[in-house]
Amino acid sequence: MKTLIGEKAPAFKATAVVAGSEFIDDFSLEQYKGTKNIVLFFYPLDFTFVCPTELLDFQGKLIEFEKRDAVVIGCSVDSHFCHWAWLNTLPKDGGIKGVTYPLISDLDKTIANSYGVLAGQYSLDKDNGELIFNGNPVAYRGLFLIDKQNVVRHQVINDLPLGRSVGEALRMVDALNFHEENGEVCPANWKNGEEGLVADAKGIADYQSKRH
Active-site choice (51, 75, 82, 186): 51
* Helices 166-182/50-60 angle, 10° precision: 40
Judge whether 145 and 176 are in contact, CB under 8 Å.
Answer: yes
75 part of the active site:
no
Q: List the beta strands (DSSP E) in the chain.
A: 14-18, 22-27, 37-42, 70-76, 103-105, 118-124, 131-139, 141-146, 152-158
Judge whether 154 and 40 are in contact, CB under 8 Å.
Answer: no
Sheet holding 141-146, edge to edge: 22-27, 14-18, 103-105, 70-76, 37-42, 141-146, 152-158
Strand partners, 8: 151
Give the residue numbers annotated as catalytic, written as ranges: 51
